[in-house]
Structure formats: structure tokens, C-alpha cells
Amino acid sequence: MLLLWEIYYSFFKIGLISFGGGYAMLPLMRQEFIGGDWLSLCEFLDILAVAEMTPGPVSINMSTFVGFQMAGCLGAAIATIGVLSPSVLLLLLIFFLSKWFIGSRWTRAAMRGIRPAVIALIALAAIFIGEQVLNEITALFIFLVCLALSLKTCLNPIIIVLIAASFSIFINIL
């Protein structure tokens, strides 16, 4: 029971202080869960890979998979509820208070400050994942090819992911 409370509390904190969605949450999740009794770095990266491939928001997928890893199906449900609770509570609060602060210069100023912080958190997540994953020449090559395809062509991202997976399978079988 204590573990379930810890899972809920950890994901509630992450959901409460994370603006910008799942990628902005990744540095906070890394800090909260890697090491100790929670997850190893390898497990975290594996969960992130599965969460990326699964339909839905990465933050919800990550919370569900981490909760499942820690405490099975009940842990998955508790973690998902934990990460969603702050958003639901905040939306309800905004709904009831919206007539007083929508359009306020204070609100606009706060949003202008939050945007750069979100970009910084997303960049931090990209740097962290890049450091962990791009440490071998094959992974770096796949990354560069995918980046070039993304920037220079109109290929669907799903096709690019399938090309990367196929190339990796081919290289690792040889």
C-alpha cells in the first residue's frame, strides 16, 4: 500500500510541476525514478521507447508503463491517475475562475515565462536521451539519416521509424 501511495505522489508531483507535455516531463521522471529502488537507466530508456511507439500522449504512456513496472496493473492505474490528477484539478479551477483572469496581463506574462522553460525541459530531455542512446556509431548513423529524412523530405514520420527499425534489424542480424 505504501508503494502505491509513493507511485501516486511521485506522478502527482510530476504532473503538477510539468508544463509542456510528456517531453517536458522526462527530465523530472528521470530525476524521480532512475536509481534507488525504482528503475535502472536501461529500464527507463526501454520504457520510453515503448511509450513512444504506443498510441497516446507520452506522459500518460510513461506513467502507465513505469507504474506497471513497479506494481503491476494496480500500479499502472495509480500512476496514470496520479499524472492526470493535477491537470484535471487545474482545468476545473481554471473553468471556475476563468472570468477573472482570462486576458489578464498577469496571465499573459506568466505564459510568456512558461514557454521558454518548456523549451528548455524538452531540450534537456533530447540531450539526455541522445547521450544515452547515441553512444555507438550505428545509432548515431541511424539518427543522422532519420534527421536528414525528416528535414529534407516529406516522408511520413511512421515511414522514417520503419526505415530506422528495418535498418537496425538488418545491421544487428549480420
- What is the model's pLDDT at position 20? 64
How confident is the model over 94-122, as a mean pLDDT?
81
Do 34 and 67 reside in the same domain of the chain?
A: yes
- What is the model's pLDDT at position 151? 94
pLDDT band at 19 (very low <50, low <70, confident <90, very high): low
Do 22 and 99 reside in the same domain of the chain?
A: yes
How confident is the model over 24-53, as a mean pLDDT?
82
Asked whether the beta carbons of 27 and 125 are under 8 A apart, the reply is: yes
How confident is the model over 129-152, as a mean pLDDT?
88
* Nearest one of 94, 96, 75 to 86, comparing CA atoms: 94
Do 119 and 142 reside in the same domain of the chain?
A: no
How confident is the model over 58-76, as a mean pLDDT?
89
pLDDT band at 145 (very low <50, low <70, confident <90, very high): very high
Do 86 and 148 reside in the same domain of the chain?
A: no
Do 77 and 111 reside in the same domain of the chain?
A: yes
- What is the model's pLDDT at position 87? 86
Pick the range with the lowest mean pLDDT from 87-91, 96-100, 103-107, 161-165.
Answer: 96-100
- pLDDT tens digits, one per residue of 70-97: 899 999 999 999 999 998 898 888 788 7
Do 127 and 157 reside in the same domain of the chain?
A: no
Do 146 and 125 reside in the same domain of the chain?
A: no
Q: Which domain holds residue 21?
A: 2-131
pTM value surpassing 0.85: no
Q: How far apart are CA 129 and CA 38, in angstroms?
A: 19
Name the DSSP class of 35.
B
Do 126 and 56 reside in the same domain of the chain?
A: yes
Summary mean pLDDT of the chain: 85
Could you give the number of structural domains in the chain? 2
Return contacts of 64-70, CB within 8 angstroms, 24+ apart: 66/29, 66/33, 66/38, 66/39, 67/7, 67/11, 69/39, 69/43, 70/3, 70/7, 70/38, 70/39
Do 58 and 78 reside in the same domain of the chain?
A: yes
Do 83 and 27 reside in the same domain of the chain?
A: yes
* Nearest one of 69, 66, 106, 108 to 83, comparing CA atoms: 66
Q: How far apart are CA 48 and CA 60, in angstroms?
A: 11
Do 125 and 151 reside in the same domain of the chain?
A: no
Do 112 and 138 reside in the same domain of the chain?
A: no
